[in-house]
Amino acid sequence: MGLMDKKETTYEIDGRIYIQRPLVLGQIDQLIDLAKDLDLPPDFSPIEIKRALGERFYDALAIVLIPISDVDGLNIPKILKSKDIPALAEELRWSTSHEMGLEVIEDFFDYNPVASIFERLTALAKRINEKVVSPISKAGSKSLS
């Protein structure tokens, strides 16, 4: 079974359990804000992503990893909304092995195929544009004649 067939991946980091799933919209908003001035080459590897993010790498880990505890159970929306990203990032900085960090990045792109998402958004924007602009263009050309 490939990663895309799974609903989540579980990691144990310094005795704590974390999961990673496909992103929800709130996590996407957090990552967009984190990476707004990020400059990545077209062909990039997990190591290049880590280098490009620099200190923000730990914030990215804190955004995509979901800490699971007995207190929260599996109320994922509650966990995501209440996460203290800076505190979790600092904890992950000092407890995540280099290998585990790279594994999380690789899994991230398996769960969230950015190129595929971008292609779908581009196609959606084109369809919306055709539905909105095309009728306006037709109406405008009728009034000119």
Those residues with Cβ within 8 angstroms of residue 116's Cβ, 6 or more apart along the chain or in another chain: none
Are 7 and 60 found together in one domain? yes
Are 107 and 128 found together in one domain? no
For residue 57, pLDDT over 80 is answered with yes
Mean pLDDT (whole number) for 31-44: 79
Are 108 and 134 found together in one domain? no
Amino acid 49: pLDDT: 79
Are 50 and 13 found together in one domain? yes
pLDDT in tens, 71-128: 556 788 888 888 999 999 999 999 999 999 989 988 998 898 876 666 776 777 777 8
pLDDT band of 1, cuts 50, 70, 90: very low
Domain around 136 = 115-145
pLDDT band of 5, cuts 50, 70, 90: low
DSSP string, 21-76: -SPPHHHHHHHHHHTTT----SS--HHHHHHHHTTHHHHHHHHH-EEE-TTTTT-H
Top-confidence residue, 94 or 131: 94
